Structure 1
Amino acid sequence: MSLLEVRKISKSFGQVQVLKDVDFSVKAGEVHALLGVNGAGKSTLVKILSGDYTKDTGKIQLNGEEVSFKNPAEAKKNGIAMVVQEVDTALISNLSVVENLTLDDTLSGSPFGAVSWKKRKRKAVELLQRVNKKIDLNKLVSQCSLSEKQMILIARASAANASFIIFDEPTAPLSDSETKQLFEVIAGLKNEGIGMIYISHRMNEIKKIADRLTIMRDGKVVDVQKTEDLSVEEIISKMLGKTLKSADYTHRELGSKIAFEVKDVKVPETGSSFSLKVKEGEVVGIAGLVGAGKSETANALFGASRTKGSWLINGIEKRIHSPLDAIHAGISFVPEERRKSGILIDFSVKDNLSLPAIKSFSPYGWLQQNKERDSALAQMKELGISASSPLTLLKHLSGGNQQKVSIGKWLNRESSVFLFDEPTKGIDVGAKNDVFRLIASLAEEKKGIVYFTSEFDELLQIADRILVMYDGEIIEELTNAEASHEKIMQAATGGNTVEATDRIEQLSSSGKA
């Protein structure tokens, strides 16, 4: 039986020790959940196992023999594959689907050997069939949806003759039906004797598919249990080291002044026109399932699509043909894919936080570095960004801390409108509450807020008004008092009662409904 073990693994970045004598193991045919809040050390541990990082001390053992990986290629040769959370970092956007699916064949083949595209395409079709997905093989990856990219990665990993596969937040960009397909794929991999390490902040998924779980906190392992032996509440309490009180919706008295209005904004990707009014201090939620057109609409409102329409900020009409126009008009945008378009991963916390307001730190053409550093330190404290210093590179931060930077960088500007697209994707329950409190504070400052999400429970916690999107169109409007999971899901599935019921049962099993 295959067994992957780590013994007393430690890892530091500069003066910060992120892993402290960690023990962990995963067996053949087992799904082992690796849990912890953002910054607990999960990502660092799996990056060591997948060859992205080297350990400082400790041992990695594969079937009782000590191994060490200098790079991901060596990890793959030893049978360890990884499906990363930020899919664009693992795919080549200007290559086709078939080229990305068979990339390992290209890298391992002779540089002078002939390429058999017939064999490549046959193999690519087989890989996609393995994950129950149909994608045009000739399409460039840059033209694929986020969920398609994720399934390409999963299909490629399953083909790598891996003995162990690491899944890092694999369902974040997937619809309910695609998530169901993924779980079927995982069940098949279990039957083949493949061991899996599964990272997710979605507790209903963990309870459904994980055999065992390891909980980490502050770089240490705090518990290892059979999944069935712990409740969701106990898991979260162990992750946080305390009992979490969820953020609850607080009714806000809104005036009549409109902070943000758009009229007939054409969304090229959906073919629909979008109109919206947001009052000062109002949080308007746009609810929709994956593929409903939320992200495409958010991008259009920020001027990132070639589109037409009318924008009014505080009653004044603005011409918006680009994101720069939107920023100058007073619109801030936190996108869904933070590493692709929300932050500069190879730059420091300080650089990212100051970038949108760089002119305020260089009024005479010279950058006032002390002022920039002091501002970054203040924001790190205010937002709870965990980093050793403002000079820490973002690639060394957890997903939750990266997201806080993605949001915090806009707070140095006097924006009137904030657009949030899936702002809690891939972050833990504690960080989610921090995001909700930040949004509530922006609402208290009379900002207009539009919150796009497929996590309907979040809207019940934060939104004053909820608009439900289906196939690019708003088909339902509810106040927070009127809204429920049942009503939102019924509308989000286009009135499909069966699909809505299935989704509500999932939410009920996770304690969200």
Structure 2
Amino acid sequence: MDKITLGTRNVSIEFPGVKALSNVDFEIHTGMIHAVMGANGAGKSTLMKVLAGSNPDYTGDVLYNGNVVELRNPAAAKKLGIQIVYQEVDMALVPTLSVAENVMFNDMVMNMGHKQFVNYGKIRKDAKEALARLNIDIDVRRWCGTLTLAQKQMVLIARAVQNSCNFLILDEPTAPLSDTETEELFRVVRHLRETENIAIIFITHRIQEVLQICDSYTVMRNGQIVDTTPITSQTTSKEIVDKMLGRSFEENFPKEICEIGEKSFVVEHLNEHEGRVKDVSMYVRKGEIVGLAGLVGAGKTELCKTIFGVYRKSGGTITLNGKELKIKNPSDAVKNRIALVPEERRKEGVLVAETVTFNISAACLGDFCTLSFVNDRKTAQKAKEYVQSLSIKTPSVKQRVAYLSGGNQQKVAVAKWLAADCDVYIFDEPTKGVDVGAKQEIFHLINQIAKEGNCVIYATCENSELLSITDRMYVMFDGKIMAELETAKTTEDEIMHYATGSEEKFAG
């Protein structure tokens, strides 16, 4: 098959106070799987958005088969067969439309204005075929708002592949997927490369996946490309990380010693009214970091949201320092000094259209008020303190959070609750889409929260993180607690044994 090339020449782009790309030369051709890697804020997503037509204010040239093309809007990119699937899946889906309508969304929009009836039978048939190419069995009549994160991701990938596609850009595609779903995605990716000659570009922080699936990788740092290299049997994760950070990196995240006190936060026989959490009992001591382990869909997020009042509980009790809490909504949780840093930070954790200052003060605005007026000087000063102490990379506390990298958005979400001075901190997949450098900083921050005598709940699918940062953990499956494990005495094998639903005692 003939190769089609896509690339950039001397491409630069600036946002307010930030030079996101600086004279970038990049090239990829069809029939290859290529990773673009770098720390948060390195410029990788910005570069991909230029290729997808979503960053029209670039300077320099975009080249398609060696010819200069203007990619100043997504429609221009799609005409050349350039499709992108973004990390924040809920931003790209319409929850009140069916799976079929979301998969075929681009075709439906293109046909709008033509005076014709919508052939829903054909839409459902074409959507089923697109999903079948991914080997995914989802009822195309379901509303997208009822799907899991993993299913939503697959719907978006099906939408991209369903259209004429030469270059498929995937932004953190495996972040919401289980190991099984990730393997399915990799099978599809290999199929698209080998039989349809599509180029796949991965933006990812999961280095082991890069070594497993990609032919080559590009490393970006500070808006520039520092290296493009084929992947061989000699390529190591440490080699890639060192290039990303520009320095040698210690791979482990040692648990910092925290003084653990008395039992403080207790959940007993908790049930969620739709059955997503089933008879869960657990406790956290002061200064303790307790993990919630389990595969995607195990109920970790649902448990976190039920505790926080997002989901309604149908039974059970929640007690803090001996006092039973009545939590009917998130406002009640905040009043009782409970914080939740959610998995979907752009949708639920921060207000991306607002400034760093506004976000950090949002959970405790009353502390900055005189009578009915907000003291802007106090809020800005408090924001500056957290920007400095958490090393949040922003040109100003007046910067809109939308312009920050993923890792720095996560730090803003954490800073909001630090400013509110809570007793219980719940972290749901806090390092999702975060580079290894920012991950290290977040781990240190969580350890500091525990050292101050607070209770910490840490929910993640990443078993290596649980083994690094927690004192104890509860393993979940299908909304239930399968086992309570002491971190220092457990292994990844034991965690997976219970995470897959086994009720038998682990033999070791």
Question: Which TM-score applies when normalising by structure 2?
Answer: 0.96
Correspondence for 2:136 among 110, 113, 133: 133
Residues 431-440 or 54-63, more deviating: 54-63
**Which position in structure 1 is the counterpart of 2:197?**
193
**Which position in structure 2 is the counterpart of 1:216?**
220
Aligned equivalents of 2:89, 2:149: Cα separation in 1? 8
Please report how far the alpha carbon of residue 331 of structure 1 lies from its aligned counterpart in structure 2 after TM superposition. Answer: 0.3
| 8 Å CA contact retained: 1:32, 1:210 | yes
Corresponding residue SS for 1:494:
coil
What amino acid sits opposite 1:141 in the alignment?
A: C
1:244 aligns with 2:249: yes
Correspondence for 1:263 among 268, 271, 292: 268
Q: Flag structure 1 segments of 5+ consecutive residues without an equivalent.
A: 501-513
**Which position in structure 2 is the counterpart of 1:122?**
125
Please report how far the alpha carbon of residue 316 of structure 1 lies from its aligned counterpart in structure 2 after TM superposition. Answer: 1.4
Change (3 A) 1:271 1:220: closer
What amino acid sits opposite 2:492 in the alignment?
A: H
Corresponding residue SS for 2:138:
coil
| 8 Å CA contact retained: 1:285, 1:465 | yes
Aligned equivalents of 1:152, 1:212: Cα separation in 2? 27
**Which position in structure 1 is the counterpart of 2:337?**
330
Corresponding residue SS for 1:51:
coil
Residues 101-110 or 198-207, more deviating: 101-110
Deviations 1:55-106 (A, max 9, x none): 4311101111111122212211121100110001111111111110110111
Please report how far the alpha carbon of residue 388 of structure 1 lies from its aligned counterpart in structure 2 after TM superposition. Answer: 0.9
Correspondence for 2:299 among 287, 293, 296: 293
| 8 Å CA contact retained: 1:263, 1:311 | yes
| 8 Å CA contact retained: 1:269, 1:296 | no
What amino acid sits opposite 1:336 in the alignment?
A: E
Deviations 1:326-369 (A, max 9, x none): 00001000111111111111111111111001111113211111
Corresponding residue SS for 1:410:
helix
What amino acid sits opposite 1:101 in the alignment?
A: V
| 8 Å CA contact retained: 2:354, 2:400 | yes
Please report how far the alpha carbon of residue 14 of structure 1 lies from its aligned counterpart in structure 2 after TM superposition. Answer: 2.3
Aligned equivalents of 2:268, 2:137: Cα separation in 1? 36
| 8 Å CA contact retained: 1:81, 1:165 | yes
**Which position in structure 1 is the counterpart of 2:102?**
100
Q: How many residues align?
A: 499
Corresponding residue SS for 2:434:
coil
What amino acid sits opposite 1:206 in the alignment?
A: V
Aligned equivalents of 2:178, 2:84: Cα separation in 1? 21
What amino acid sits opposite 1:160 in the alignment?
A: N
| 8 Å CA contact retained: 2:260, 2:453 | no
Deviations 1:460-504 (A, max 9, x none): 11100011111111111111211111111111112399xx9xxxx
Please report how far the alpha carbon of residue 270 of structure 1 lies from its aligned counterpart in structure 2 after TM superposition. Answer: 2.1
Aligned equivalents of 2:277, 2:386: Cα separation in 1? 40
Q: In the TM superposition, what are the counterparts of 1:347-426 in structure 2 within 5 Å? A: 347-426=354-433
Aligned equivalents of 2:155, 2:329: Cα separation in 1? 31
Please report how far the alpha carbon of residue 110 of structure 1 lies from its aligned counterpart in structure 2 after TM superposition. Answer: 4.1
Corresponding residue SS for 1:25:
strand
Corresponding residue SS for 1:18:
strand
| 8 Å CA contact retained: 2:211, 2:235 | no
Aligned equivalents of 2:70, 2:277: Cα separation in 1? 52
**Which position in structure 2 is the counterpart of 1:30?**
32
Change (3 A) 1:390 1:271: closer
**Which position in structure 1 is the counterpart of 2:71?**
69
Deviations 1:245-296 (A, max 9, x none): 232123444222x221122221234251212111000000010000111111
Deviations 1:102-137 (A, max 9, x none): 101111114221111111111010011011111121
Corresponding residue SS for 2:180:
helix
Corresponding residue SS for 1:478:
strand
| 8 Å CA contact retained: 2:255, 2:470 | yes
Corresponding residue SS for 1:272:
coil
| 8 Å CA contact retained: 2:57, 2:72 | no
Aligned equivalents of 1:416, 1:161: Cα separation in 2? 52
Corresponding residue SS for 1:412:
helix
What amino acid sits opposite 1:216 in the alignment?
A: M
What amino acid sits opposite 2:283 in the alignment?
A: K
Q: Flag structure 2 segments of 5+ consecutive residues without an equivalent.
A: none
| 8 Å CA contact retained: 1:16, 1:388 | yes
**Which position in structure 1 is the counterpart of 2:445?**
438
Aligned equivalents of 1:252, 1:383: Cα separation in 2? 19
| 8 Å CA contact retained: 1:40, 1:216 | yes
**Which position in structure 2 is the counterpart of 1:310?**
317
| 8 Å CA contact retained: 2:12, 2:59 | yes
**Which position in structure 2 is the counterpart of 1:279?**
285
What amino acid sits opposite 2:102 in the alignment?
A: N
**Which position in structure 1 is the counterpart of 2:229?**
225
Corresponding residue SS for 1:409:
helix
Please report how far the alpha carbon of residue 314 of structure 1 lies from its aligned counterpart in structure 2 after TM superposition. Answer: 1.6
1:178 aligns with 2:181: yes
Please report how far the alpha carbon of residue 414 of structure 1 lies from its aligned counterpart in structure 2 after TM superposition. Answer: 2.1
Correspondence for 1:162 among 165, 171, 174: 165
What amino acid sits opposite 1:202 in the alignment?
A: R
Q: Percent identity?
A: 42
| 8 Å CA contact retained: 1:166, 1:196 | yes
Change (3 A) 1:110 1:249: closer
Corresponding residue SS for 2:279:
strand
Corresponding residue SS for 2:301:
helix
Residues 488-497 or 457-466, more deviating: 488-497
1:458 aligns with 2:458: no
Correspondence for 2:16 among 9, 14, 17: 14
| 8 Å CA contact retained: 2:258, 2:447 | no
What amino acid sits opposite 1:23 in the alignment?
A: D
Change (3 A) 1:386 1:271: closer
| 8 Å CA contact retained: 1:26, 1:196 | no
Aligned equivalents of 1:409, 1:458: Cα separation in 2? 23
